[in-house]
């Protein structure tokens, strides 16, 4: 399968992680289970979306790190990859998200073979609470699909407004990704730093 990918991808994080990501982008030991597409390195083609991720992570961070968005270049594609592409929200997409959201133990995965790269919409609404409710009430995939594609007021969401994510599920992508730079949110604005300039990193 021939995949044409965006040149630039964005990853929301905090400023305290820049040095670690500079040494290595893909560190599977830190990937958490229970996410939309399972354990992996989550990116998006939307810098605005990555900024929202970064603000959320900064609020949850114990070290007081500032919101940060990494700018990553996908320079090439490894051979013999096993991609999974969801063009829009669908029952199949919801089933995939639901099964991975229910995984709490690191290293466990509902897939027989987890895809090397997954591209598709984000699950919207308050997904964590919906998953918890679904598990308690033993709800199926169709119920979950209906719940996560509606707003809190019950309106059906536009698929284009769900957001996009490109998730790397294997460290084999490491040599194909390049950290170009990062944006740090400081005093109400986003300031850019060059990840290839060591003096810039030391000031984060």
Average pLDDT, whole number, for the chain? 89
d(CA 28, CA 20): 13
**Could you report the per-residue pLDDT of 8-19, keeping only the tens digit for each?**
999 999 999 999
Q: Number of C-alpha atoms within 13 angstroms, CB side, residue 150?
A: 11
Q: What is the pTM of this model?
A: 0.90
Domain boundaries, the chain: 8-121+160-202
> Which CATH architecture fits 8-121+160-202?
Alpha-Beta Complex (3.90)
Closest CA to 70 of 133, 118, 26, 136: 26
Q: Can you give the pLDDT of all 204 residues of the chain as single tens digits?
A: 566 666 899 999 999 999 999 999 999 999 999 999 999 999 999 999 999 999 999 998 877 789 999 999 999 888 888 789 998 899 999 999 999 999 989 999 999 999 999 999 988 657 889 999 999 999 999 999 998 888 777 777 776 677 889 999 999 999 999 999 999 999 999 999 998 776 654 444
Amino acid 99: pLDDT:
96
């Amino acid at each position: 399968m021939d995949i044409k990918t965006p040149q630039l991808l964005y990853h929301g994080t905090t400023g305290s992680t820049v040095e670690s990501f500079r040494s290595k982008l893909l560190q599977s030991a830190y990937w958490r289970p229970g996410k939309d597409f399972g354990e992996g390195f989550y990116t998006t083609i939307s810098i605005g979306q990555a900024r929202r991720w970064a603000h959320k992570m900064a609020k949850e961070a114990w070290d007081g790190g500032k919101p940060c968005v990494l700018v990553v270049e996908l320079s090439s594609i490894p051979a013999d990859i096993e991609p999974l592409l969801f063009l829009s929200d669908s029952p199949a997409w919801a089933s995939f998200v639901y099964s991975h959201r229910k995984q709490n133990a690191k290293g466990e995965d509902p897939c027989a073979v987890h895809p090397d790269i997954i591209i598709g919409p984000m699950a919207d609404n308050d997904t964590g609470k919906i998953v918890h409710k679904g598990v308690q009430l033993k709800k199926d995939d169709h119920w979950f699909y209906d719940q996560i594609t509606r707003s809190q007021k019950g309106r059906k969401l536009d698929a284009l407004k769900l957001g996009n994510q490109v998730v790397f599920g294997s460290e084999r992508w490491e040599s194909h990704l390049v950290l170009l730079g990062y944006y740090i949110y400081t005093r109400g604005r986003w300031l850019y730093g060059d990840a290839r300039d060591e003096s810039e990193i030391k000031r984060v």
